[in-house]
């Protein structure tokens, strides 16, 4: 598990146990597919993606879940699909003991790309 600040997304992902790394890498790949022009960085100590110099999506690994941060707009648009997961204002928690909903993540990111481009 992450103990010190990572300088890159690759470094961040490598700080986790292999089973968590696999899930985090799957999310990273979905983000790259859905938003190929997004700029990848570390922000707030976690993987962050920007498009048109505006925040697009963040994600993070934790002991029992993966945090996925699509901001309130992303969560509101997919409210019913996300209803089975624990949520905050702009976040959702995907439990590590369940399959990560990669298709849903792809749809959320596509929505966020469109939303980001229109603003």
CATH classification of the domain holding 103: 3.90.1150.200
Q: Give pLDDT, residue 62.
A: 94
CA atoms within 13 A on the CB side of 33: 12
Low-confidence ranges of the chain (pLDDT < 70): 1-4, 119
Q: Give pLDDT, residue 38.
A: 96
Kindly state whether residue 55 falls inside one of the protein's structural domains: yes
Number of separate domains in the chain: 1
Q: Give pLDDT, residue 8.
A: 94
Kindly state whether residue 3 falls inside one of the protein's structural domains: no
User: Could you give the CA distance from residue 24 to residue 30 in angstroms, rounded to a whole number?
Assistant: 10
Kindly state whether residue 1 falls inside one of the protein's structural domains: no
Domain around 108:
9-114
Q: Give pLDDT, residue 47.
A: 97
Kindly state whether residue 90 falls inside one of the protein's structural domains: yes
Kindly state whether residue 4 falls inside one of the protein's structural domains: no
């Amino acid at each position: 598990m992450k103990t010190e600040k990572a300088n890159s997304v690759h470094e961040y992902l490598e700080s986790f146990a292999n089973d968590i790394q696999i899930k985090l890498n799957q999310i990273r790949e979905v983000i790259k597919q859905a938003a190929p022009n997004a700029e990848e960085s570390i922000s707030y100590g976690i993987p962050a993606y920007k498009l048109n110099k505006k925040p697009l999506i963040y994600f993070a690994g934790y002991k029992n879940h993966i945090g996925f941060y699509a901001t309130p707009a992303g969560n509101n648009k997919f409210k019913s699909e996300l209803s089975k997961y624990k949520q905050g204002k702009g976040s959702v928690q995907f439990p590590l003991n369940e399959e990560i909903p990669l298709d849903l993540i792809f749809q959320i990111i596509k929505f966020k790309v469109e939303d980001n481009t229109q603003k």
